[in-house]
Amino acid sequence: MQSTYKMDFTEELKKCVKCGTCRAHCPLFVELKGEPGSPRGRLALIKRLHDGKIKPSQELADIVYTCLLCKTCTVNCPSGVISDEIILAARDSLNQSMDQSVIKKALLKGFLTRPALLHSCMSMASLYQKTGMHNVLTKSKLFELLPDKLNAVTKIMPDVTKKPARSRIPVVTPAKGEKKFKVAYFLGCATNHIYPDVPVAGVEVLSQNGCEVITVEGVKCCGMPHMAYGEVDTAKEMAKQNMDILLKEDYDAVISDCASCSSTFKETYLHIFDEGSKEYEQAKQLADKTWDISDFLVTKTGIKPGTKEQKVKVTYHDPCHLKRAQNIFKEPREVLKNTPGVEFVEMKDADRCCGSAGSFAVMHHDLSMKVLDKKIENAQKVDPDYLATSCPTCTMQLSYGLKKAGSQAKVVHPVQILAETYK
Amino acid sequence: MVAKEQLIKDLEGMFGVQKVLKSELERYTYTYDSSFVSQQTEYFPDVVVCLESTEEVSKLMKYAWDNEVPVTPRGAGSGQTGGSVAIKGGIVLDISGWNEIVEIDDINMQAVVRPGIVHASLNQALSPFNLFFPPDPGSSAMATVGGMVANNASGLRAVKYGATFQYILGLEVVQPNGDIIKTGGMKSKALKSVSGLDLTRIYCGSEGTLGIITEIRLKVLPKPQARGIMLALFDKLEDSALTVLDVFKAGIIPSGIEILDDGGIRCANMYKPELNIPEVEAAIFFEINGTKAGVESEGEQVKAIAEKRARSVEWATDADRMAKLWQGRAVIGAASARTVPGKTRIFAGEDVCFPISKVPEALRTIKNISKKYDIPVVIYGHIGDGNMHTAPIMDPLIPDEVQRTHKVAEEIHRLALELGGSTTGEHGVGFARTSYMEEEHGKALDVMWAIKQAIDPKGIMNPGKIWKLGRE
Ligand SMILES: Cc1cc2nc3c(=O)[nH]c(=O)nc-3n(C[C@H](O)[C@H](O)[C@H](O)COP(=O)(O)OP(=O)(O)OC[C@H]3O[C@@H](n4cnc5c(N)ncnc54)[C@H](O)[C@@H]3O)c2cc1C
């Protein structure tokens, strides 16, 4: 079995002793039931493919793609099996040996790589929501490619008529007060286009806490969505461009407000380039420099909040790519607890996946909704004004879930509440 | 037996396509459990059905009976003996999705559950009532209570609380011909009943060979008020075992007595460096629970006894420290997989049980067997009841190592029989251990077979388990 994603399938698969512990932790298995829906089952089939006993097939691809990549099985595996990475590598391998379905190719290759197209599709999605003009949108490229997923997309997609963050933030924002750091702010696709208020707040908070902030231009999508669909080659191209741009100047840090982007920089790039290559060295440098924004605020700058009290009750949902991929979970809570007036309440199973996993919520809509319902139930029990989180796809999913449940609570990034205190 | 295509068609007709798994890929995921033997062979079921009601299970069994199709029940597939693998083909009944808690009666201290409920989930649900279901396998996070009953599972606290059978008040069982029976106190809430033959006891530990367990009435206990943990380190393996015997002689039954050998200590340190346990020949963890005063007084007595032979003794009642120490023991089963890079641990010859008087001798002999075949074996387990786990560390991709590991497992099983113990203290027979049954049971095996034939004359229930295939 070949994969561009660096993976020694023989060694990694050997570690699985089939104890079944992962059955206890996988948020999808609870809903799917049946061994093929368990991480152990998926790995057993990938091993069989690796052993040459079965051939790539649509059925196998379906099973391998029915995974949130939430890492819950990985962090709980007694034998140290890195299931989520094996899944990523297997998807890449399947991609190389199978006919690509039109959906994936189009959605990813021509989509996130071209920011302008992304924005126009997002805007159209929003238009669709508002007017219900089915025929206008079914004519658009995206929805032609996603006929049966159309409903799912339009249900989850938020209102995206806002101007992208890129056009609202200057390239250079000076530090307010004494300058302690010069940082690059990576504008990820989703916060830039869908939740532009997040980077606007992020830049403000960093500048208030002694950072000169550069919203570096020319960057691409981090590549995580491509990787999730086994498009490692495309992801590599994006990685190269991002690394060239972000490492060109000697920034003290590269900051991201998106858990997936930061975990991709810190972890995933290292898995797609050959050790010893120039790109691998760059990936190491970028990994060392990358910070999640809450982590940077708590660990490096310290937080000096503004004076305007917020008087809100807030709970926090841990994105998989922050808690399990980066072991960051105290820091966003610290940001919230340091925000004047915030009453912080912990909800049950705060670190359980919300079921969004990028486009999983679209591709496996019903399943994703079952995972979401559990999350929303727990959130509603603490009755918050805000459900904070640090990932735009979680935000999209949680917002949809809250709305569906008739809740008034809003989903925000922790820095958005902190930013309000400076107003 | 009906042809496979017809079988699938019939089952889809009876239960709907959603509940029937028939593709090669789906069926492959039912060819294994955690046992190494099951992973070295490929016993495909012809079809898998996932059912969640007594009526459906009864319908399935009537059909299987009429058509003489083998049926293998399956819980989480965490078993270590291939018990849930269909070695004669036919139908696998995956019952793990049927996980309802029907009733928790806190006043009468009992619970009624469906077989798919996972052990840890049940205890979570009991916790707000200050109750718990005491048998606690290391597989608590995934094992189903149905699987525990079928295997008569036990765990870390068996020394005080015993095995699953002690907590089963009654069962609902679907017979091989589809009839539904209720055993013991299934229909009553009495905590005791000696009315008639104890059928409950026969089904408990029957490994799916006598019928399908579809409902379970469990006795549950109030949670103890307090707990303390002691870690005693010994330079000589034998001294650790002798200390355990002295604790019993003093009239104290700790709620858990667990051992780690030097390999086990190394694993614990590798996996959780903050534990930093000195690498002596044996570490013993004593857990004592009960009332606060009782825990304090027993803890002090055990400490005094241990100090006679131990190099050092640590007694902890602080929650944080206790959690850390107990974790040191809990991670071993898993962490042993990581001891040697490129190798893994497998589940083979895992749970032999020795008379407690013979434990010191057994431990030394296992070490020698490991040396003889040059296969590292990490020893850990429930020394308090003589039930030892022996984890071979090997590379499953090297045929010679596989051969030697089989020999290690074989010798460990033989050792248990020679020393008057049992080849399995908790995991059961499955098809991994059928070859020891004659020797372990003699004529009693014929009586077991007579019972099997009376209940399942067509031999459709989980064939090839407990008794070798072909016995009929
Ligand atoms: C890491 C690890 C640690 C373990 N620790 C322990 C331990 O400490 N103590 C211990 O006792 N065991 C332990 N085990 C073994 C295993 O978890 C137990 O045997 C458990 O009871 C099996 O439950 P299951 O749901 O996985 O059953 P399965 O493995 O699916 O099935 C086990 C047997 O029960 C039968 N069966 C299952 N459900 C039913 C039903 N409803 N009706 C009739 N028959 C049925 C099956 O046919 C099979 O013969 C451990 C296993 C692992 C992997």
Q: Is A42 within a domain?
A: yes
- The per-residue pLDDT for A122 is 57
Residues of chain B neighbouring A34 (CB-CB closer than 8 A): 21, 26, 48, 50, 94, 97
Query: For tokens 């609202």, what's the residue?
Result: A168
pLDDT tens, position by position, for chain B (472 residues)? 799 999 999 999 999 999 999 999 999 999 999 999 999 999 999 999 999 999 999 999 999 999 999 999 999 999 999 999 999 999 999 999 999 999 999 999 999 999 999 999 999 999 999 999 999 998 999 999 999 999 999 989 999 999 999 999 999 999 999 999 999 989 888 888 888 999 999 999 999 999 999 999 999 999 999 999 999 999 998 899 999 999 999 999 999 999 999 988 988 888 778 888 898 999 999 999 999 999 999 999 999 999 999 999 999 888 888 888 887 787 787 678 778 888 988 998 789 999 988 988 999 999 999 999 999 999 999 999 999 999 999 999 999 999 999 999 999 999 999 999 999 999 999 999 999 999 999 999 999 999 999 999 999 999 999 999 988 6
Choose one of A97, A125, A159: the last residue of a domain.
A97
**Domains in chain A: how many in total?**
2
Q: How much distance in Å is there from the Cα of B106 to the middle of ligand 1?
A: 27
pLDDT for A117: 47
Which residues in chain A have their CB less than 8 angstroms from residue B341's CB?
Answer: none
Q: A211 lies in a domain?
A: no
Tokens, residue B138: 């290391």
Residue in chain A lying closest to B93 (CA): A34
| Tally of residues, chain B | 472
CA distance A419 to B57: 59
Q: B379 in helix, strand or coil?
A: strand
Residue A236 has what pLDDT? 93
Last residue of a domain, one of A71, A97, A123: A97
Query: In the numeric block, which tokens belong to residue A173?
Result: 């924002």
Q: What share of chain B is helix, strand, coil (3-state, %, to 5)?
A: 40, 20, 40
Sign of CA dihedral A52, A53, A55, A58: negative
What mean pLDDT comes out for the span A93-109?
61
In terms of Cβ atoms closer than 10 Å to its own Cβ (0-12, 13-18, 19+), residue B440 is middle
In a domain, A161, yes or no: no
Here the CATH number for the domain that contains residue A365 is 3.40.50.1860
Of the candidates B463, B354, B469, B356, which has an alpha carbon nearest to the alpha carbon of residue B413?
B354
CB atoms within 10 A of CB A166: 16
CATH code where residue A93 lies: 1.10.1060.10
- Give the whole-angstrom CA distance, residue B123 versus residue B114: 14
Q: Is residue A205 part of a domain?
A: no
Residue A178 DSSP class: S
Which chain A residues are Cβ-neighbours of B28 within 8 angstroms? 44-45, 48, 54
What is the H or E stretch that residue B218 is in?
Answer: strand B212-219
Q: What's the confidence (pLDDT) of residue A274?
A: 92
Q: How far is CA B375 from CA A146, B329, B389, B403, in A?
A: 55, 22, 15, 10
Q: Can you tell me the distance from the alpha carbon of B365 to that of A49, in angstroms, rounded to the nearest whole number?
A: 41
Number of helices (H) and strands (E) in chain A: give both, helices first.
25, 9
All residues at 6 or more sequence positions from B314 whose CB lies less than 8 Å from its CB, including other chains: B230, B231, B232, B325
**E strand intervals along A247-374:** 253-256, 290-292, 312-317, 342-344
Residue nearest to ligand 1 atom 8, measured at CA? B137
Pairing of strands A342-344, B131-132: unpaired
Q: How far is the CA of B216 from the centre of ligand 1 (A)?
A: 15
Tokens at B43, concatenated: 């016993």
> In ligand 1, which atom is closest to the CA atom of B33?
29
Instruction: Report which residue type is found at A323.
Output: K
Cα–Cα distance, B274 to B325 (Å, whole number): 10
Task: Indicate yes or no: CB of B25 within 8 angstroms of CB of A24.
Answer: no
List pLDDT tens digits, range A135-155. 333 444 444 444 445 556 666
Q: What pLDDT sits at residue A113?
A: 52
In the reported structure, the alpha carbon of residue B284 is separated from the centroid of ligand 1 by a whole-number distance in angstroms of 26
Residue A129 confidence (pLDDT) above 60: no
Which of B78, B168, B350 is the best mutation target for the ligand 1 pocket, counting ligand atoms within 8 Å of the beta carbon and taking the most?
Answer: B78
Q: What is the pLDDT of residue B326?
A: 81
Predicted confidence band of residue A157 (pLDDT cuts 50, 70, 90): low
Expressed as residue numbers, the domain containing A323 is: 305-420
Q: Is A80 a member of any domain?
A: yes
Of A18, A21, A38, the CB nearest to B141: A21
CA quadruple B136, B138, B141, B147: dihedral, nearest 10: -70
Residue A21 burial (10 A CB sphere; 0-12, 13-18, 19+): buried
Please give the helix or strand (H or E) that residue B228 lies within, else none: strand B226-234
Q: How far is A20 from chain B (nearest CA, A)?
A: 6
Q: Which of B29, B342, B344 sits opposite A35 (nearest CB)?
A: B29
For the stretch A326-385, pLDDT in tens is 999 999 999 999 999 999 999 999 999 999 887 787 778 889 999 999 999 999 999 999
Query: Does residue A373 lie in a domain region?
Result: yes
Q: How many residues does chain A have?
A: 423
* Residue A369, domain member (yes or no): yes
- Cα–ligand 1 centroid distance for B168 (angstroms): 16
Count CB atoms within 10 A of the CB of residue B457: 12
| Amino acid identity for residue B309 in this structure | R
- In three-state secondary structure terms, A163 is coil
Interface touch A78/B24, C-beta < 8 Å: no
Q: Is A63's Cβ below 8 Å from some Cβ in B?
A: yes
Give ipTM to 2 decimals: 0.94
Q: Which of A61, A275, A85, A291 is nearest to A183 (CA)?
A: A291
pLDDT at position A257: 97
Residue A104 scores a pLDDT above 60: no
pLDDT at A366: 86
Q: Is residue A126 part of a domain?
A: no
